[in-house]
Structure 1
Amino acid sequence: MRLSHPTRAAMKPKTTSLPPLFRQTVMDAPSFTGGPPTPQALRDDPTSPPSSAFLPDDEPQHRYRTIWLSDVHLGTSGCQAPYLLDFLRHNDSEYLYLVGDIIDGWQLKKGWFWPQAHNDVVQKVLRKARKGTQVFYIPGNHDESARQFCDHAFGDIQIREEAFHTTLAGKRLWVVHGDLFDGVIQHAKWLAYVGDSLYTLILLLNRWFNRIRARLGFQYWSLSQYLKHQVKNAVNFISQFEKVMTDEARRRGCDGVVCGHIHKAEIREIDGVLYCNDGDWVESLSALVETFEGELKVIYWTVLRSPEGTTLSRAPARVAA
């Protein structure tokens, strides 16, 4: 089902119990005690942001009209959940789109990995939905089992195969994960699984690499993203993916597209159609936001937040919408 502008009055989705993937992760997970990770716990994990990078309370410091997040990959060791939790605590919005690969079902089928910080992220999103944020969840290939529940809602979260969002400036944006327009996923899924295993290995190396950087006093830097962008075939694939997505958005009568899938945050026009990718939370640690002035921006959370918890002077990518 396609939506025009998402509002509570526009549609009353069927309410259902949690999908199996979410029941397993949220309800049947080992019992957790206590609240969010403590500063000491964060210090004990060199891959987590320094404890001084977090503000002392949960009061949002920035409010946006819309936030788009994707490719979180909860359930994997590569997920940077403490950074995402920090982002969710200090940024609020009227609309929140979860644009696929939020929970990594592929990896959870291989082995259980669900630390406290991952549970905290899920609970934080549920809390935002209860407090009035309109949350839309568009599954991707790694959480594709949730697609059977499209056009239903669990709790206050609405599940959609795709969505259509209208900005304050009147631009109609098609919101979709993007895997259905990836030829490898659609025609050689076995190759996608092989690539996912290799990618997981690279992320493991990235984790150890950043442990060393943290001990030397350097900020988080994605080795995996650097290597990926140096490979010519990967660069060509990204360019082709962006062109396919904007062509499809144009065919659907939209002014632009918001997607994820390829873990590369971007805002740019391609042949007159706006292409927006909200990035990921295993490499770039980025989100796409719409301000109340009608501006679209890519936020890189490790750049925007200084060790002292203040906003850096470097401006994020942006475009009027």
Structure 2
Amino acid sequence: MLNCNTIFLSDIHLGCKDCQAEYLLHFLQQTEANTIYLLGDIVDLWAMQRQVHWPQAQNQVVQLLLQKAEQGTKVVYIPGNHDEAMRLYRGKLFGNIKVQLRGEHTTALGKKLLLLHGDEFDKEVSFGPLQSWLGDNLYDLLLFLNRWYNRVRRVTGGRYFSLAAYIKSRVPGALKAIGRYRQAAIKKAKRGGYDGVVCGHIHHPELTLEDGIIYCNDGDWIDSCTALLEHSDGSLALYHWAEQAECLAALPLQPLLSKKVA
């Protein structure tokens, strides 16, 4: 069992056929935290308008989150663009899960983090309507390839591998868009006087310290299967959770303890 102060999750996309609910369920069963932040696109209402895909594992994820909230874990839900209808319920409780438009979290090291989904940065990242349309459709193709590629790997005894993330990391246009997004999020945090920002939306897990600002993207549960954790000492770590849990990145205590660059 992995015990920590805080878990940050986003882009689960329940109701979508590409949701990796089995991995997320295992992650939630193997972790305990004082607080869980759900940073948007938890339920994929867009996908469900086309076709509802809701296997038992997705139902168990919802039940386990509600159970954790009932047993004393603070659970905060900040909706994204795929579940934006939930923004109408800001300030309301679903079970013991509170809905907010955005939030902030102070780590055990006293670092104040801005929490949001991140779709508000789309205008700063977009290269135009044609490029956005092309990017969305290419990503759908990547998810299709990712789904079948990993089915074959499981049959042959291989571990889960994010083919979509691997291909994205080698496309210059995708890397440029990711860089723009990172800069927009960092600028938002700096303007608000925060020490860092935690977001999702672009399905690209990342944990870095740039220009004195902690940038955390907790990734997704469509292809990367990642979560951001704050450990009891206040340090932050990004975990990939599939057949085997792996720490992808961690910020050591020294950078977190240092003074923020003005």
Partners of 2:127 and 2:174 lie apart in 1 by 18
Distance 1:178 1:214 in 2: 33
- What CA distance in whole angstroms lies between the structure 2 residues aligned with 1:116 and 1:223? 25
Match of 1:275 in 2: 215
Q: Distance between the aligned counterparts of 1:209 and 1:160, measured in 2?
A: 37
Give 3-state SS (helix, strand or coil) of 2:242's partner: helix
Between 1:110-119 and 1:100-109, the stretch displaced more is 110-119
What is the alpha-carbon distance in structure 2 between the residues aligned to residue 65 and residue 226 of structure 1? Answer: 31
Quick check: which one's strand share is greater?
A: 2
Alignment match of 1:121 (pick from 45, 61, 72):
61
Give the CA deviation at 1:71: 0.7
Query: For residue 174 of structure 2, what is the aligned residue in structure 1?
Result: 234
User: How far has the Cα of 1:200 moved from its partner?
Assistant: 2.8
Verify: 1:166 aligned to 2:166, yes or no.
no
Gapped runs of 5+ residues in structure 2?
257-262
- Separation in 2, partners of 1:243, 1:97: 22
**Counterpart in 1 of 2:16?**
76
TM-score of the two chains, using structure 1 as the length reference: 0.74
Amino acid at match of 2:141: L
Count of residues paired in the alignment: 253
Matched, 1:210 2:157: no
Q: Which of 208, 226, 240 is the aligned partner of 1:300? A: 240
Alignment partners' CA distance in 2, 1:185 and 1:272: 22
Displacement after TM superposition at 1:284 (Å): 1.2
- Aligned-pair CA distance for 1:64: 0.7
Aligned to 1:199: 139
Is the contact between residue 78 and residue 200 of structure 1 (CA under 8 Å) also seen in structure 2?
no
8 Å CA contact 1:180–1:186 kept in 2: the answer is no
What is the deviation of 1:195? 4.4
Q: How far 1:103 moved relative to its partner?
A: 0.7
Alignment of 1:1-321 (within 5 A): 61-183=1-123, 195-302=135-242, 304-305=244-245, 315-319=247-251, 320=253, 321=256
- Measured in 2, the distance between the counterparts of 1:196 and 1:141 equals 14
Q: Is the 8 A contact 1:265 1:286 kept in 2?
A: yes
Q: Relative to structure 1, is the Cα distance of residues 137 and 193 closer, same or farther in structure 2, using a 3 angstrom cutoff? A: farther
Task: Measure, in 2, the Cα distance between the counterparts of 1:189 and 1:164.
Answer: 32
Shift of 1:178: 0.5
* Alpha carbons 2:204, 2:220 under 8 Å: kept: yes
Computing the radius of gyration over CA atoms, which structure comes out larger, 1 or 2?
1
What's the secondary structure of 1:230's corresponding residue?
coil
- Percent identity, aligned pairs only, is 44
d(CA) in 2 for partners of 1:185, 1:147: 23
CA distance in 1, matches of 2:247, 2:85: 38
